Amino acid sequence: MSETMRVVEISQSGGPEVLKPAEREIPAPGHGQVLIKIAYSGVNRPDALQRAGMYAPPPEASDLPGLEAAGEIAAVGPGVDDLEVGDEVCALLPGGGYAEYAVTPAAHCLSVPKGMDLKLAACLPETYFTVWSNVFQRGRLQAGETFLCHGGSSGIGTTAIQLARHFGARVFTTAGSPEKCTKCKELGAERTINYREEDFVEVLKAEGGANLILDMVGGGYIKRNLQALAVEGRLVMIAFLSGPKAEINFAPVMAKRQTITGSTLRPQSDLAKARIAESLKAHVWPLLEAGTVGPIMDLEFPLEKAAEAHARMEGSDHIGKIVLKVA
Ligand SMILES: NC(=O)c1ccc[n+]([C@@H]2O[C@H](COP(=O)([O-])OP(=O)(O)OC[C@H]3O[C@@H](n4cnc5c(N)ncnc54)[C@H](OP(=O)(O)O)[C@@H]3O)[C@@H](O)[C@H]2O)c1
């Protein structure tokens, strides 16, 4: 194995053009970690936020972008006894996915679902960890409940629609074009709302309100989300594409016993992420293996063209996940 690897690094904070190919030393796995030889890496909005200087990596993580990958175990660190060199995995990474090799805790690796190729498997970890922990664990979505998912055509949205539908919720979703709305319907949304033409508050109020809203937009949506929530409804914030600030009248929140919460995945402890992985293995991986739910992929770009991948994502023409081909 050569000692250096091809990577794409963030040369300075800025637009997609600051993503530059470079050479780095191959990292060594520490205690409880594995080294993955990456075949494909998933591209996520948080990578673009990091590139823009708005989402710093946790202290011990690689400064390279990339939160998920699929490939083959190339080395195992001390204390790893359930994975071996040569095993194929997809894994949540603390960073460092835009590279030929990356290290991550063994407990954050999941098997490649039977019958799925590595390209599709690379689309799974970041969105499935995020959706499972925010919609089903934090948001406590139950069968029969009404769920509103904003950004339904995003990597997160396409995952949330399928899982929520499978677990028996009524799924409503916003998206920014007729084509995106059609895809959301195909994935299981009962009602799609093109937010450029319709008001999601009116649609949800006519249905008795949403029991759970997953929001990545923020800004003016925060107040409107609370108006669209039912009694005992929960609002889970996972990003603020339109900004984090809002002026809220909390009296209805109290009167309707609503909950406002949210989370980010990356800064959570290794143990917290390992627990999400265990829950995914038990409840979601069988669905992926059965083909009941699955990743929705947009385009593939070579690793060296990560800047083009980011431009595509920020142009918002994509539906589902964008992937980098590394090997
Ligand atoms: N908290 C966490 O742990 C965590 C983890 C992963 C991702 N995230 C966040 O989740 C979001 C989705 O991530 P992703 O990787 O799946 O990104 P993505 O595919 O780029 O999705 C962003 C989506 O937001 C939609 N959008 C933008 N403005 C909107 C508006 N006003 N109303 C409704 N939808 C709007 C865009 O589509 P339209 O064309 O429909 O506008 C697009 O589908 C990102 O904001 C990301 O930062 C959070």
Task: Produce one character per residue of 40-78: b if its CB has 16 or more CB atoms within 10 Å, e if not.
Answer: bbbbbbbbbbbbbeebebeeebbebbbbbbbbbbbbbbe
Neighbouring C-beta atoms of residue 11, cutoff 10 Å: 12
Does residue 176's CB lie within 6 angstroms of at least one atom of ligand 1?
Answer: yes
Does residue 133's CB lie within 6 angstroms of at least one atom of ligand 1?
Answer: no
Dump pLDDT digits (tens) for 284-325: 999 999 999 999 999 999 999 999 999 999 999 999 999 999
The structure's pTM equals 0.97
Yes or no: say if 214 and 139 are a contact pair by the CB < 8 Å rule. yes
- C-alpha of residue 38 to centroid of ligand 1, in Å: 25
- In 3D, which of 303, 230, 282, 246 has the Cα closest to residue 41? 303
Kindly give the confidence (pLDDT) of every residue in the chain, 327 residues in length, as a single tens digit, with 9 standing for 90 and above.
679 999 999 999 999 999 999 999 999 999 999 999 999 999 999 999 999 999 999 988 999 999 999 999 999 999 999 999 999 999 999 999 999 999 999 999 999 999 999 999 999 999 999 999 999 999 999 999 999 999 999 999 999 999 999 999 999 999 999 999 999 999 999 999 999 999 999 999 999 999 999 999 999 999 999 999 999 999 999 999 999 999 999 999 999 999 999 999 999 999 999 999 999 999 999 999 999 999 999 999 999 999 999 999 999 999 999 999 999
The amino acid present at 251, given as its one-letter code, is: A
Dump pLDDT digits (tens) for 72-111: 999 999 999 999 999 999 999 999 999 999 999 999 999 9
| Structural domains for the chain | 4-124+269-325 (3.90.180.10), 128-262 (3.40.50.720)
List the beta bridge partners of residue 259: 234
Phi and psi at residue 228, in whole multiples of 5°? -85, -10
Q: Which of 130, 237, 316 to mutate for ligand 1's pocket (most ligand atoms within 8 Å of CB)?
A: 316
Does residue 154's CB lie within 6 angstroms of at least one atom of ligand 1?
Answer: yes
Yes or no: say if 172 and 210 are a contact pair by the CB < 8 Å rule. yes
Does residue 174's CB lie within 6 angstroms of at least one atom of ligand 1?
Answer: yes
Rounded Cα gap, residues 325 and 327, in angstroms: 6
